[in-house]
Structure 1
Amino acid sequence: MPIDPALAPLLDMMSALPHMNPPFDVTALRLGDEQPMPVPKAEVAEVRDVTLDTSAGPVAARLYHPQPGTMLPLLVFLHGGGWVFGTIETHDPLCRAIAAAAEIAVLSIDYPRSPEHRYPTALDTVRAAIVAAAAQADTLGIDANRIAVGGDSAGGNLSAALCLATRDAGGPPIAHQLLLYPVIDNDFTRASYAENATGYMLSSEMMQWFWAQYLGDQAVDALSAPIRADSLAGLPSATVITAEFDPLRDEGAAYAARLKADGVAVTHDHVPGVIHGFASMLGMLPQADVAVGTAARNLRAAFGMTPAA
């Protein structure tokens, strides 16, 4: 299927931005990320910034709570940005949309970014954050027995790794993992890396640079590249959403297949005609609203909730 025509102006604009082309620079990417796309923001009854008192120190987060005074299931959300950029602010519209559509609480975590804080610092921080969130359930207005994790791109990587770490080393039980075009491996030989190498916002060269910032001189392992785990059995049910024109397309599909083969309940939605990051393009692409709806339905089902009206 051809790329959605609505994306053409965005891709033209992005390709002309210096920070989106090599040589990549951490500061320039972060500055460019401070001007997120103007998209509609769903109304959520309570949105407040909180600080989680964790074993890794204080961690900033933003809570989205559609029904203050009610103990709701929680999605711990981890933003994308190649582990290098992205913030609570850049993903505010997406978190609002999920909270409103699913009628659950969402807690967006401000985790440490690379290269200042290389692997496994971000993962260790989000592990500590989910423990702290469960411990602070009363003040957050959440049900500590119904917690899911999710994120996009690098946030999807951290979510998948968090599920593996929790399975193997303990922690609050995780009901579901929401993986939006996740980073799952650093195998750059997959066909989608060649087919979508340039011209679709996230380039293959940029992705390789992100991995270098994240790992430094460390070797890849199962908690940095979750598809390399010996077994995925016993992991929470998963929603995996992939995009056609995305270097990460094939690794996301391969991870969904591995999860299914290892006995995990999986919904894999492959979305044609769109690029990496499309779920954040609310109000621009109907496919973004569909992806949010899929995420909401699957989260509610994992939490044992009735379908939203």
Structure 2
Amino acid sequence: MPLHPQIAKILATLPAPDGSPLDPAALRANEAARILPADQRLPLHAVVDATAVTSAGEVPVRIYTPTDAAEHSIIVYFHGGAFFLGSLDTHDHVARALASETGHKVISVGYRLAPEAPFPAGLEDCYAVVRWAASTGGSLGWDGGNLAIAGDSSGGNFVAAVAAKAHDDGFHHITHQILYYPSLDLDFDANRYLSLRENAEGYGLETAGLKPFNAFYLDGGAEPGDPLVSPIKRADLTGLPPALIVTAEFDPLRDEGELYGRRLDEAGVDTTVSRYSGANHGFIQNFSWIPEFHRVFAETSEFLNRSPGK
């Protein structure tokens, strides 16, 4: 099917990339200007800003509690933004929708951003908060059931890398991994995946922009061949948690997400790959108000409830 007409209408109003150097501060300010006022956000039982005291240092988190129940299962959420954009505020509506639709308490992680903190700082923060959530579960009101991790775009990269790190460390508390249009291969050779060519221009995220966008994260000396940088490079995917991978038809990153899903399945991991027709990269953050795309949160809930944590 074609790109959803409401997405196409909005994309047509955006200026074409001019090739000028990226200015993180300006791009962050532009994002901040579009954040919904607090009184227009989806209401929940409680939304609290806190600090997770972890092995990686003090990490800001925002905790979303959907109901007044004494205990809930947990999702630890890593926002997207090419490793240098995004914040607790820019993705607040995503976390709220996750909490509301799944009935899980959501812990959104305000991890360190590049270029101020390149790889592996953000990854370390995300992993440390997951371990913090498990170790302080009682005070968080964790019911001892699901401890899922979820993330969109670069946050999906962190999901895959955190799941791998946890497995290798013998930390087996993560029950599910949820990757929304993940960025899993930071080797940006356009010949690697058909979607990098098919969806190269005109759909919001452009193939030519991938390398400069992610350069901030890599410039600390990270190697794209490192499986913690590009999780799709990991040779052995056995033993990882059940996975839901959501892709978008008109996303340059579509094929790497779907390839990762096939590789997980071949490794014996319970994996669901769900492609959203008519959608583009970032649709969960930008276009989940469209009913066809808002159902991603119901699909997430179904996935979590189908394979309950032990």
Question: Taking structure 1 as the reference length, what is the TM-score of the superposition?
Answer: 0.92
**Matched residue of 1:29: which SS?**
helix
Structure 2: tracts of 5 or more residues without a match: none
Q: 1:138 is aligned with what amino acid?
A: G
Q: How many Å separate the matches in 1 of 2:119 and 2:296?
A: 29
Tell me which moved more, 266-275 or 281-290: 281-290
Deviation, structure 1 residue 204: 1.2
Q: 2:213 is aligned with what amino acid?
A: F
Deviation, structure 1 residue 300: 2.3
Deviation, structure 1 residue 42: 2.7
Q: Residues 302 and 210 from structure 1, CA distance in 2 versus in 1: closer, same or farther, beyond 3 angstroms?
A: farther
Deviation, structure 1 residue 36: 3.0
Instruction: Establish whether residue 29 from structure 1 lines up as the match of residue 24 from structure 2.
Output: no
Of 177, 194, 199 in structure 1, the residue corresponding to residue 197 of structure 2 is 194
Q: How many Å separate the matches in 2 of 1:234 and 1:171?
A: 12
**Matched residue of 1:182: which SS?**
coil
Q: How many Å separate the matches in 2 of 1:97 and 1:282?
A: 13
Deviation, structure 1 residue 208: 1.1
Counterpart in the other structure of 2:247: 242
Tell whether the 8 Å contact from 2:146 to 2:176 is kept in structure 1 after alignment: no
Tell whether the 8 Å contact from 1:279 to 1:287 is kept in structure 2 after alignment: no
Q: Deviations over 1:89-121 (max 9, x none)?
A: 111111111111111100000000111111111
Of 243, 258, 269 in structure 2, the residue corresponding to residue 264 of structure 1 is 269
Tell whether the 8 Å contact from 1:174 to 1:236 is kept in structure 2 after alignment: yes
Q: 1:133 is aligned with what amino acid?
A: A
Counterpart in the other structure of 2:232: 227
**Matched residue of 1:52: which SS?**
strand
**Matched residue of 1:15: which SS?**
coil
Q: Deviations over 1:209-229 (max 9, x none)?
A: 122111113312001111100
Q: How many matched pairs? A: 303
Q: Deviations over 1:1-54 (max 9, x none)?
A: 2111011232123335x7x86432211211111133659733211111111111
Q: How many Å separate the matches in 2 of 1:181 and 1:22?
A: 26
Q: How many Å separate the matches in 2 of 1:282 and 1:144?
A: 33
Q: How many Å separate the matches in 1 of 2:277 and 2:199?
A: 13
Tell whether the 8 Å contact from 1:24 to 1:206 is kept in structure 2 after alignment: no
Q: 1:219 is aligned with what amino acid?
A: E
Tell me which moved more, 26-35 or 37-46: 37-46
Deviation, structure 1 residue 192: 1.1
Deviation, structure 1 residue 193: 1.2
Q: How many Å separate the matches in 1 of 2:9 and 2:34?
A: 15
Moved over 4 A (4+): 37-40
Tell whether the 8 Å contact from 2:134 to 2:173 is kept in structure 1 after alignment: no
Of 210, 222, 233 in structure 2, the residue corresponding to residue 207 of structure 1 is 210
Structure 1: tracts of 5 or more residues without a match: none
Tell whether the 8 Å contact from 2:7 to 2:287 is kept in structure 1 after alignment: no
Counterpart in the other structure of 1:129: 129
Q: How many Å separate the matches in 2 of 1:149 and 1:68?
A: 22
Quick one: percent identity of the two aligned structures? 37
Tell me which moved more, 281-290 or 79-88: 281-290
Tell whether the 8 Å contact from 1:3 to 1:274 is kept in structure 2 after alignment: yes
Q: How many Å separate the matches in 1 of 2:213 and 2:288?
A: 28
Q: 2:94 is aligned with what amino acid?
A: L
Counterpart in the other structure of 1:292: 297
Over aligned residues, Cα RMSD in angstroms? 2.0
Q: 1:250 is aligned with what amino acid?
A: D
Counterpart in the other structure of 1:253: 258
Deviation, structure 1 residue 128: 1.2
Deviation, structure 1 residue 246: 0.7
Counterpart in the other structure of 1:218: 222
Tell whether the 8 Å contact from 1:280 to 1:288 is kept in structure 2 after alignment: no
Question: How is 1:159-178 mapped onto 2 (pairs within 5 angstroms)?
Answer: 159-171=159-171, 173-178=173-178
